[in-house]
A and B are shown apart, each in its own frame.
Chain A
Amino acid sequence: MIKLNQLSGLERRRRLCNNKLALRVGPFVYQVHSSLLELDDGLGTLYGDFEVVDCDSFVDFTVSVKRANPLSYLKGTADFYFDHQRPFTTFNIKNAYAFFEWGLNWCISVYPNEYLTLHAGVVAKEGRATIFPGVPGAGKSTLCAALGLAGWRVLSDEHALIPPKTSTVVPVPRPVSLKNESLEVIRRFSSGAVIGPPSGDTHKGRVAHLKSDLTADAHERNPLPVHSMVFPQYSPTDEQHLSRRSQTQSFVMAAFHSFNYSELGMEGFLTMRTLIDAVRCYDLVYRDLDWAIDTMEKLNVGMLR
């Protein structure tokens, strides 16, 4: 098995430019293509530990980021391509890296239906996984990032892939996306945080990505049992607490934040029922990351109920 950081920078760039670079991301293989330096930089910084796959193997998603035509050199724009077609509108080239990462997410959000796909961060310790369903802005990415830097395994900050009728989750590790203040929070939290190319004025403000495949088992592919489902909420004012929440309400909330719950119909319901029935659901209100990590540690070893 070859990792991306085993290729020389030149070789990496050559493959990236010539559409000869394929990377394994959890259960998927992406073939990536770009001649933009930002992309090469980002891949070099953040994807060093990802497995490089032979381009003749099965490729799930073919993506590229490139300038659509000569005019885009003048305008300073680029496009994201999926299957050689453009699903999004043109963007400023300064944001190329952020759009690349969003594009990779988009592929998983839209196409695979062999899993129930929740919009959620997923972390694990001691082989037990916790799902953080995503209410945008609630602070799930910040929490994933901090836990990752504190020794937890980050399975994803965006997608919980649940195989049908199981209470397990399939890892799909990628860099964690951090926005605005959380970027500063994480920099302060750990001086050793490896952060990729920043993007300027996207619709989400400033965005950059954190290398989060830091544990030895980061790229292992076996599903992990889900231990709990925690709905995090960052709040600078409320009292910090972890409390049990209704299982049935959590069911509906997680379904609402799923990418394909309704596509799966009855199977979606049955899978969600199996999952929710096997886990305990909590609200976590936090402002201090150290407290939140400590609480998650205790929850994970059964010291909290």
Chain B
Amino acid sequence: MNHLLNGTLLTPERAGEFNDRDLSILVRHARSCGLLAALCVRLKQTNQFEGLPIEAQRHLHSALVVADKQARDLKYELKWIKRALDSVNIKSVLLKGAAYILADLPSGRGRLISDIDLLIPKSKIEDAECALKEFGWHNGEYSAYDERYYRQWMHEIPPLGHPKRGSTIDVHHTILPPTAAPNVDANLLFANTVEIGDGLYGLAPIDMVIHSATHLFHEGEFHHGLRDLWDIDRMLRDFSARIPTFWRELAPRAEQLDLTDSLFHGLVYSNQVFSTPLPNHVVSQASNWSRKLKKPMMNFLFKRAFSPDQPETRWPLTDTALNALYVRSHYLRMPLRLLMPHLLRKAWTRRFQDKQTSEGITNAAEA
């Protein structure tokens, strides 16, 4: 699978040969996938940025401004989150984008985030919620249904928002909902956390990769599919170069966490889309694993999820495929009897809200 965007992310030198039309398509694709700032970082790292026409530079630069702003805000928010959690003796463990940025990983450079994900032991989640509320975060207005959905079936409490600063925190007590089939022992994750900033922690590198893959294949956020896969590619390359035991320990750890399927999905697609180098023993493990899967169906779906949803790269039936993936990822993590009412309810609520906010454009257009 090769298109303009993933090709340029991998080999930024290609950008030097692009004409204006190619460049504007590249910018549009990257923007639509949330990868424009990451692309800018890549082009700068490889000294390709300065040689680009100013028209392309300024879009890349503009996206980086937003990513930089988010990174600054993140660090400021973390100061308060740490204070809040320290007050109840809870270690601040960051997940996903926030962790990549704070740890200054290659996957964190130019990474956009929409909220700050925290991992808190289940037994301490109420203390954490109280402490964060003490420091100004609030549960927004949620319907009783949403509230129950979050607390009972998901691995989260409803997101906490800071009304003054506009930040959002998602508190998780594990990396998969308790209703999902795999049985993740969160204690194993906590046991291996590493310090990634001043008194702030993240998952161990191997766990980070496994979580990233798990998130991608379980959370239904396939509209960020390519970006999340880029995270995985960056981490695989970075960690395997720095940690000699990385490849040896990766698959056994996934097995220990009961997340082998997710990990291999991540490895296979990262390799397909971004040519991530995998050692031979991992390739053979992956192909053994993939023989057990209903692969053609999955390929059909994922090919679409990992391409920009743009005319030049759009596969037939992309919308259907993305919806099918959404259903699939809920299916993976919830027993069926729970799945059906939730999806129906979601569709219904969405329609209802659309109606209520038919003036919804007001703010968007005026903003």
A binds B: yes
In the assembled complex, 9 residue pairs joining A and B whose CB atoms fall closer than 8 Å, in A order, are A56-B20, A59-B24, A84-B309, A102-B361, A105-B365, A106-B367, A110-B367, A112-B58, A113-B63
User: Which chain A residues numbered 198 to 212 have a C-beta less than 8 Å away from chain B?
Assistant: 203-204
Q: How many A-B residue pairs have CB under 8 A?
A: 85
Stretch at the interface among A213-221, A241-249, A262-270, A276-284: A262-270
Interface size grouping (class) on chain A: 35 or more
> B18 → chain A, closest Cβ, in Å?
10
| A113 and B20 contacting across the interface, CB-CB below 8 Å | no
Instruction: Give the complex CA separation of A55 and B22 in angstroms.
Output: 11
Q: Does A62 contact B (CB under 8 A)?
A: yes
B62 touches A57 (CB 8 A): no
Q: Identify the closest chain A residue to B223 (Cβ).
A: A85
Closest B residue, CB atoms, query A59:
B24
Interfacial chain A residues near B69, Cβ < 8 Å: 262-265
Does the CB pair B72–A89 fall under 8 Å? no
Contact partner of B24 among A60, A110, A262, A264, CB < 8 A? A60
**Is B357 in contact with A89, judged by CB distance below 8 angstroms?**
yes
A111 contacts the other chain (Cβ, under 8 Å)? yes
In the bound complex, CA of A29 to CA of B367 (Å): 21
Q: A88-B365, A263-B66 are in contact. List 20 more A-B contacts (CB 8 A).
A: A56-B19, A58-B53, A59-B21, A60-B24, A83-B31, A84-B32, A84-B309, A88-B364, A89-B360, A91-B361, A99-B361, A106-B365, A111-B31, A111-B59, A113-B66, A114-B58, A203-B361, A204-B362, A265-B68, A265-B72
Q: Which residues of A contact B56 (CB under 8 A)?
A: 58
A109, B367: Cβ atoms closer than 8 Å: yes
Nearest 10 interchain pairs by C-beta: A102-B365, A113-B62, A58-B55, A113-B65, A58-B20, A114-B58, A59-B24, A88-B361, A89-B360, A203-B359
Question: Which of A88, A262, A264 contacts B360, CB < 8 Å?
Answer: A88
Chain A contacts of B32 at CB under 8 A? 83-85
A262 to chain B, nearest CB (A): 7
What residues make up the interface of A, taking CB atoms closer than 8 Å to B? 29, 55-60, 62, 83-85, 87-89, 91, 99, 102-103, 105-106, 109-114, 136, 203-204, 259-260, 262-265
CB-based nearest A residue for B311: A84
Is residue B154 within 8 Å, beta carbon to beta carbon, of the partner chain? no
Q: How far is B366's CA from A263's CA once the two chains are assembled, in angstroms?
A: 18
With both chains docked as a complex, state the minimum distance between the C-beta of A33 and any C-beta of chain B, in angstroms.
Answer: 11
B50-75 at interface with A (beta carbon < 8 Å): 53, 55-56, 58-59, 61-63, 65-66, 68-69, 72
- Tell me the minimal C-beta distance from A25 to chain B in angstroms: 14
Alpha-carbon distance between A260 and B366 when the two chains are bound, in angstroms = 14
A105 to B364, CA, bound (A): 11
Asked if B23 is an interface residue, CB under 8 A from chain A, the answer is yes
Chain A residues lying within 8 Å of B311, measured Cβ to Cβ, are 84
- Residue from B20, B28, B56, B361 with most neighbouring chain A CB atoms (10 Å): B361
Which residues on B sit within 8 Å (CB–CB) of A55? 21
Among B31, B72, B311, B364, the one with the most A-chain Cβ atoms within 10 Å of its Cβ is B364
Least Cβ–Cβ distance between A19 and chain B, in angstroms: 9
B62 CB contacts on chain A under 8 angstroms: 111-114
